[in-house]
Amino acid sequence: MREPVFTGTCCAIVTPFDEHGAIHYSRFGALIDELIDRGIDAVCVCGTTGESATLSTREHIAAVDYCVKRVNRRIKVIAGAGSNDTSAAVYLSQHAQDSGADALLHVTPYYNKASQTGLIKHYEAIAENVQLPVILYNVPSRTGVSLTAESYAVLAQHPNICGVKEASGNFSLLAHTRTLCPEDFYVWSGNDDQVVPMMSLGAKGVISVAANLIPEVMVQMTHLCLEGRFQQAGALQLAYTELIDALFLEVNPIPIKAAMNLAGYAVGSLRLPLCDMSSGGLERLRLAMIRAGLLQKTA
């Protein structure tokens, strides 16, 4: 029986940029170290939150390599390697494997709008060309396609495909997936506002945006669930609803980078076509951070 890549909270880490728009590696390293010091269970590099869509292939490979070396086996490293070009996804996966990553995260191909058969063939082609565990990533709001429970059941038969980051928000899909798939096909929440209900249906944790800002909270929430203490975990989920909602007022990672800059982490700007948060959204985010105790109220 396969073991889950991680249980608890994986932070989908931001990619900090310097004033010239290049990856700020010393800041990146400091963020990684702080997350580990604050109890995070795993880190996902070069995912959506890491602005993988605007990283060059060279930057992507270098960022994964740097993260793996900086982590130095202290926690698990999951490397984003998704693409809507299967051959490119294989290429990034093999480089991540060579870097020493522990697992791969593969978003469903975007824009192409592949059929379920095409999605299955895409993932099987990736899994056949690596030895690392492959975590599928289902986020139809961004990609325009959704895997079905039946497709998960097919893909779960491959020894290298170990589970899915499920961000569809579809609890019926989650329930059917858990029913049709074997126990060692694991599910992780891809939505910070649905961690507790998803874990009550058997998810093993979350791959989290909010963990960049509140790692201890997300770790406590998931570990309470793993211990079966869902009432306490639910109370924590509800207590941070306003902040988590504020972190998704605009498309990720616009708000999380704004929040981290407000909190003093100096992660830099975004790469176009993403741009700074609107003034109204930024004020709502700032107020939510004050109420969560992350910022001091100014006169």
Provide the pLDDT for residue 283.
Answer: 96
pLDDT at 84 over 70: yes
% helix, strand, coil for the chain, step of 5 = 45, 15, 40
Q: Is residue 52 part of a domain?
A: yes
Give me the CATH number covering residue 54.
3.20.20.70
Annotation marks residue 257 as catalytic: no
**pLDDT tens track for 144-176:** 999 999 999 999 999 999 999 999 999 999 999
Provide the pLDDT for residue 218.
Answer: 98
Structural domains in the chain (count): 1
Q: Regarding beta strands 103-107 and 76-80, do their DSSP bridges make them parallel or antiparallel, or are they unpaired?
A: parallel
Q: Is residue 173 part of a domain?
A: yes
First to last CA, the chain: 58
Kindly name the residue from 123, 137, 152, 240 that is annotated as catalytic. Answer: 137
Q: Is residue 2 part of a domain?
A: no
Q: Is residue 74 part of a domain?
A: yes
Residue 137 is part of which domain span?
Answer: 8-229
Asked if 257 and 271 count as a contact pair (C-beta separation under 8 A), the reply is: no
Q: Is residue 137 part of a domain?
A: yes
**pLDDT tens track for 241-253:** 999 999 999 999 9
Q: Is residue 289 part of a domain?
A: no
Residue 181's identity, in one-letter code, is C
- Partners of residue 77 on adjacent β-strands: 43
| Secondary structure class of 137 (helix, strand, coil) | strand
Q: Is residue 254 part of a domain?
A: no
Q: Kindly report the average pLDDT of the chain as a whole number.
A: 97
Q: Is residue 55 part of a domain?
A: yes
- Per-residue DSSP letter, 275: -
Provide the pLDDT for residue 296.
Answer: 81
Residue 57's contacts (CB-CB under 8 Å, 6 or more residues apart) are: 88, 91, 92
Kindly name the residue from 76, 123, 152, 165 that is annotated as catalytic. Answer: 165
Provide the pLDDT for residue 1.
Answer: 84
Annotation marks residue 265 as catalytic: no
% of the chain with per-residue pLDDT over 70: 99
Alpha helix positions (H), 110-186? 116-128, 140-143, 149-155, 171-180
pLDDT at 94 over 90: yes
Number of C-beta neighbours around residue 174 at 10 A? 22
